[in-house]
Structure formats: C-alpha cells, structure tokens
Structure 1
Amino acid sequence: MHLDQHHYSLMRGGLVHRLLQAAGMLRGTARLSLWMAAALVVISLAPLVVLTARAGTLWTLPPGMPLLGDYATLARVLLAMPLLVIAAPRSDTLLRNAFRQLTRAGLVPPQRQGRLTALLAKVRRWRDGWLPEALCVVIAWLPLLFGTDSVSLLPGVADWRLEHGALTAAGRWYEWVAVPLFRLVALLWLWRFVLWTGLLWRLPRVGLALHAEHPDGAGGLAFLGMAQERFAVLALAGGILVAGACVNHVHYLGESLYDLRHLLAGYVIGATLLLVAPLLVMMPSMMRAKRHALYRFDALGNRAAALFDQRWRSGSRQEADTDSLLDHGDASAFADFSGVYKGLASMSVLPLNRWNLLWIALHAVVPLLPLVLLAMSVDELARKLLGILV
C-alpha cells in the first residue's frame, strides 16, 4: 500500500498544519521552520522594541529593569520560542522512523498486524483532529479571557511593563501577543508529546513479540529510547527559561546561585524524569518477556550442561587413539549458549540506556552552564582553569 510522506508524521497534521497548507505556506518547505521562527520573533519583539524606545525603557530604567535587561523575556522570545519551531521538522523526521520501525521490525505477529494498523490510524486521527489544537489556542490566550495578570514581576523592582501599577503599551503587547504565541508553540509540542505517550501506552495491548535475547539489550525496543530523545528539545527550551529567570534574580534581587541550587537541581532532575516517564509503560511487557525467556533458557541450559558433562566424563575415559572432546563442537556450542544467556540475563526492562538518559539530561543542563559566569568573573574562572591545567 502506498503511503504519503505524512503517514507516520506526528507534526504534519492538525488544525495549524491545515491552516498553513490552505495559506499555501507549505509549498517549498525546505526553510519554512526558519521563516516561521523569524516571523514569530519579529511579531513578538519588534513592537516591544519600538514601544519601549518611545517610553525610554528600552535600554535604561534606573534602578529598574529595562526591556534589554529583562533576561527572562529575551530568553523566551529570542531563544526558546524559535528553538522549538526550528527543531520541529528534524524531530518529526526521527519520530517518523520510529513509527516505521514498529511496522517493519517484526515486533508484531502477522495475526495481530490489524491491531497495530488500527492503533496507528487512531493516533493519526488524534493528530488530524481540529479540537486538540483549537484547545491549545484557547489555553494560550485563556488568561486574557479571565482578565488575569500573568506578568511575572520581581518584587520591589521597577519594570518596563508597568507604569504606576498599570500595564504600559509594551506590557499589553507582551501579555496579549508575545506570551500567548510562545505558550501556543509550547502547547503544540506538548500535544505531540501526549500523542507519542498515548501510542506507547496502547502499544503493549497490540501484542508485541519481544525477543529477550535481542542484541540491542532491550528486547528489540531500543529504538524507542532513541525516539524519546527527540523530546529533549523541551528540556532545552525549559532550561533556557529557567536560566533567564535566574539571571534576573541574581542581577536585580542580589540572590546567589547557591540560593537557587534547589531550583536548578530540581529542574534538571524533574525535566529528565518527566521526558523519560512515558517509556515506563513498556516495563511490564519487557519484564514478562525477560522472565519467560529466562525460564526457557534455564531449562535448555540444564539439558545442555547435562549433555556436555556426560560427553566430558565419557571423553575422559576414552583411549588415546579415539576422538576427544575437542574433536567435537560441543564446547564451542556451549560457550555460545553461555554468551547468549548472559546477554539475556542483562536485558534491560526499559527501552532506555544510559546514553539516552544522558542526552536528555544534558539538554536540561547546558542552558544552565552560563550561570557559572554569574558566580565568578571571567578572569577568576580563567585563573582557576589555568591553575588546574598548569
């Protein structure tokens, strides 16, 4: 059956995709993500620059926080939002490969292929439905509908978004346009994460034929751990937001990185665990496959060991001119069996290895590394490094 290029895609579908397609923006999409990221940055930031420049709060606002000194806002608009847009196509390509692997790796017996086809079709229906993404749009602008003030202010610090306790023109643009746009992009990513999690949740019910002795050490499911890495960009974007907020607290409130240590450590650990948590749904199936395989191989090992021992004993009583144990392949076969059994016994019960975990954790840590420069000057850091190296 011929499948179109979006058949296994998580990103290319839904309300936003159809609107872009209707507007003719999906023709020649080689750099579409770059253009969209640039457009969102311009829409969000350009009016803020103009309005704060007119109000005199673009660069200086002594002793308060001007726009160009608001590191949390700049991190959100200039870094996190375009990052999520630009990373989407590449992540979608790798997730598509994981979808194809499910249908081509022999993980589902032929008599149960219909269940897998139905599951993938259901995921595509969720992806293409207009309601989930319409809800994302509503949620993105929902605080405005209730008139809630979602501006995050530093206590006791004058802010470019407020004047005499009321939102400035720049503050209104930030609240009504910039923040909802970022919120919408993040929600669309989270919806794709929910779709992937839903697929993993229902996958064991299809009836997977896992092989505990598979050389990938995960019963043939190691590709799911590599696919999960594609959501590490969420940890990276979140880390950028946390880093921007921490810089503001250090610069304007005089807090130290030591004061923020629990926040930083909690973010790295929490983001990593949250992004790998969907793989936990595969644990019961993998544990069952490993347990049953160990029972089978234990029985086979007992018979193989008994036969090997019998030939060894009989070989020791043979005459010098008869064949010895080394003239048969029993020793080699028994050694091969031992290797297979050791691989089976070391099978992981999660489709996740240390490198998958490290990759996701690094995405959460990397945006926080520049904060080290706040704890010490560049000169001091250079002297310490030279002292260690020299």
Structure 2
Amino acid sequence: MNNPHALAESFSIVRNDALFRLQRAIGLIPEEGNGILRRAIIYSLLCWVPLVIWAFFTGRLMPDDDPESLAGHYGIHVRCLIAIPLLIIAEAGAQAILPVCLAQFLRTGLIDEKLEPAFRAIIADGIRLRDRIFPWVVIAGLILTWTVSFALAPNKEEVSWAGLEVNGHGFGSWWFLLVIRPIFNVLLLAWIWRLILTSIVLFRIAMLPLNLVPAHPDGVGGLGFIQRIPIIFSPMAFAVSAVIASSWAHNVIYHGLPVPSLYIQMGMLVAILVFLILMPLLSFSPLLAKTKKRAAREYGALLAGHGRLVHERWIQGKEIEDTPILDAPELGPSADIQTLYEAANAMRPVVINKVTLLMVVVPTAIPMLLVVATQWPLRSTLGKLLMALL
C-alpha cells in the first residue's frame, strides 16, 4: 500500500487480529462488517441465561433472606450483562477513532515527505505485530493457568452462590469457571494487549522529529487530535471498575463491609486505570518539552529582533532600511507577535487536558461512587450540595 494516508486509515488494533479471525472463522463475525452488536448480545446471553436457568431450577436464584443467592452476587450479572457486551461494543470506537488520528499526522503536516517512509514503516510494523499469534498464546496460557488453579483450589467466596458440592463443582461453578470467566478474561486481556499495541505505535511515532508548531492554538504543537485516543479505552476502564465495584457492593450490602475501608483500594484502582489509559499520550511529552524549550529561544530571539527594530524606528527616530521582519504580514504589529510568543511559551508538556482526563476518570469512578452511595444518606447529601451551590 503506497499511499501513507490509506495505510494509516486502514490500521486497526481490532480488525484482523487473531481473536477477530477466530470469530470470523466460526461465523460470529460476517464476511462484511464487524457484527459488533450481534456478538455483544450472543456473548452476553450465552454467559447469563444458562446460569439463571440453572439457578432457578435449583433454588439458587433468589431464595428469601439468603445473601449467597445468585441474585445477590451483582458481580456475576455485571460481568455478563454489562462488562462483556461493553468490551465488544468498544471495538466500534477503536475502529472509528484511531485510524483517523493516525492519518491526521499526515494531514496536518506533522509528518512531512521526509518522514513519510519512517511513518509508513511504523504503521506496517504495527499491523504485523497486531496479526502475530504469540500475544494470544500468552493470553490463552494465562487464562488456562488461572482456570486450572481455580478448579483445583476454588475461591469459595467467589462462587458461594453456586453451592459447591462436597465432591467438587456443580454446574453453576463449572459454567462460571469454563464459560463466563474465560470469555470475560479473554476480552479484557485482549484490550490490555490492544492498549500495549497502541502505546508501541505512538511511542515510535513520538520518536520521529515531528514538525510541531509551538504556537499552535491547541497548546500542544498541533497534537491535540490525539487527545481523543483515550476514549477508545474508557469502556475497558468502566468494565473493570464495574466488575470490581459490584463485588464490593455485595459485601457492603450483605456482609456489612464498611465503605470507608475500601477508599484506598478505590483510589488505587482509579489511579492505575487512568495511568494505563493515558500512558500512550505520555510518549509525546519528551518531544513536547524539547520543542517548548527550543521555541522559547527561537521565538524570544524573533520577538527581540522585531521589538528592537520597532523601538529604533518609532522611539529613537532612526532611519530603518526596509526589512522583511517589519513588513511581514504573518507577524503583524508588535501586539500580534507578542501574542505569538505567549502562545509558544504556553505550550504544554503533556497531550492531556481536562476533557481527556474526565473521559477516563468519570467512567472509572462512577461504579465506585455507586458503591459509596449505598452507605450515604443520599437525599440529605444532595440537599447539602445543592445548598452549597446556591
């Protein structure tokens, strides 16, 4: 593919990887399209419906006053009905956002003709890395090891709703062990691998001598468009947070676990997820810092030269020969060139703004806030907040 624009726009961290090819081979993904909604429904119902039917006929669905019924273990339902379909639906965002952002490096001139061969090589290497089978062998090995270890030494608290039999697992725990958890873990580890792949590609691009514009209005030299990339992984953060928070909610509601004892764990989980998702953008920080430092010297020299000539002409009354810098329309009067210098001096060293941060923090924090709300006097708390705002 000789056109670098087309190559960048064709790059996807999802399409044609080993998991994608496997799902297409068994008919879950049609020959045309991605079958995202269909897969989300199939996986969700496959995991949840047989378990509910089993629980209903065995009296484990919602027996009165039994905190260990299936209905009371919110983590199971959240995995099946929210996390698993969300991890599949998130593929749509990845397909729509990342290729456009990569092509934008070319459209904005950050990658010029001299850098195009290196940029094309980075994208091609990313595609080859995505298509490799080795990462999926590692994922399969991790899941197999985890499954075997659980089968041999089950965590009874995790499957207490299944009523483990004396001689081993019952249908409920086996279904959770061999179907629900592996499907969730495959999808989750797939997204972790995609995050790593995205980080590798962006890190290599950040190593190129990009043609940053220090005075660009976005404050990051023209890289503002990549601030959309974290939204690709926000569903993953929400899914992880929702599964963990739903397990905490069970212990809070049925076992009297005090919510304040979870605050440190909540804070650590938010911090880890936010850092991991914003990590690809941090690859550009060294380049931005270097560019800002150089721009301070270059724009400072430009402003000094321009200001000195203006001072000599209009304050000292000297005859100044025609000089391009005083007549350059792109610089304009002294006020305009000073604004240009201030814009370059205000360049940020990180491609992260408040909106980018909120795109990650909010979906990560919402499930935990719901857990906290279970022990808050919600009405009075909202009333106090309203009064404080008024």
Q: TM-score range by the shorter chain?
A: 0.7 to 0.9
Describe the shift of the 1:164–1:35 C-alpha distance in structure 2 as closer, same or farther (beyond 3 A): same
Offset of residue 63 of structure 1: 4.1
Aligned-partner residue type, residue 291 of structure 2: A
Q: Aligned runs of 1:174-185 on 2, under 5 Å?
A: 174-185=176-187
Contact 1:64/1:158 (8 A) holds in 2 = no
Offset of residue 229 of structure 1: 2.6
Offset of residue 265 of structure 1: 2.1
Match of 2:296 in 1: 294
Match of 2:364 in 1: 364
Q: Aligned runs of 1:1-390 on 2, under 5 Å?
A: 1=2, 3=6, 7-24=10-27, 25-29=29-33, 32-60=35-63, 62-146=65-149, 152-154=155-157, 158-164=160-166, 166-315=168-317, 333-376=333-376
State the superposition RMSD in angstroms: 2.9
- The percentage of counterpart residues that share the same residue type is 25
Aligned-partner residue type, residue 367 of structure 2: P
Contact 2:74/2:249 (8 A) holds in 1 = yes
Contact 1:141/1:176 (8 A) holds in 2 = no
Q: Distance in 2 between matches of 1:45 and 1:161?
A: 17
Offset of residue 347 of structure 1: 0.3
5+ long unaligned stretches in structure 1: 319-327
Q: How many residues align?
A: 378
Contact 1:6/1:12 (8 A) holds in 2 = no
Offset of residue 171 of structure 1: 0.4
TM-score normalised by L of structure 1: 0.87
Match of 1:322 in 2: none
Cα offsets for 1:326-378 (capped at 9, x unmatched): xx999952111100110100101111112111221111112223224411466
Contact 1:10/1:96 (8 A) holds in 2 = no
Match of 1:323 in 2: none
Contact 1:150/1:175 (8 A) holds in 2 = no
Offset of residue 148 of structure 1: 5.1
Describe the shift of the 1:294–1:181 C-alpha distance in structure 2 as closer, same or farther (beyond 3 A): same
Q: Distance in 1 between matches of 2:254 and 2:16?
A: 44
1:237 is paired with a residue whose SS is helix
Cα offsets for 1:190-228 (capped at 9, x unmatched): 111111000122113333222212221101111222212
Describe the shift of the 1:356–1:5 C-alpha distance in structure 2 as closer, same or farther (beyond 3 A): closer
Q: Distance in 1 between matches of 2:265 and 2:8?
A: 42
Q: Distance in 2 between matches of 1:286 and 1:208?
A: 10
Contact 2:47/2:179 (8 A) holds in 1 = yes
2:349 is paired with a residue whose SS is coil
Offset of residue 65 of structure 1: 0.8
Contact 2:163/2:170 (8 A) holds in 1 = yes
1:350 is paired with a residue whose SS is coil
Aligned-partner residue type, residue 178 of structure 2: W
Describe the shift of the 1:151–1:94 C-alpha distance in structure 2 as closer, same or farther (beyond 3 A): farther
Q: Distance in 2 between matches of 1:138 and 1:96?
A: 30
Contact 1:108/1:209 (8 A) holds in 2 = yes
Contact 2:164/2:170 (8 A) holds in 1 = yes
Cα offsets for 1:64-111 (capped at 9, x unmatched): 411111011111121111111112112321111112112322112312
- Which deviates the most, 189-198 or 159-168? 159-168
TM-score normalised by L of structure 2: 0.87
Offset of residue 310 of structure 1: 1.1
5+ long unaligned stretches in structure 2: 320-326
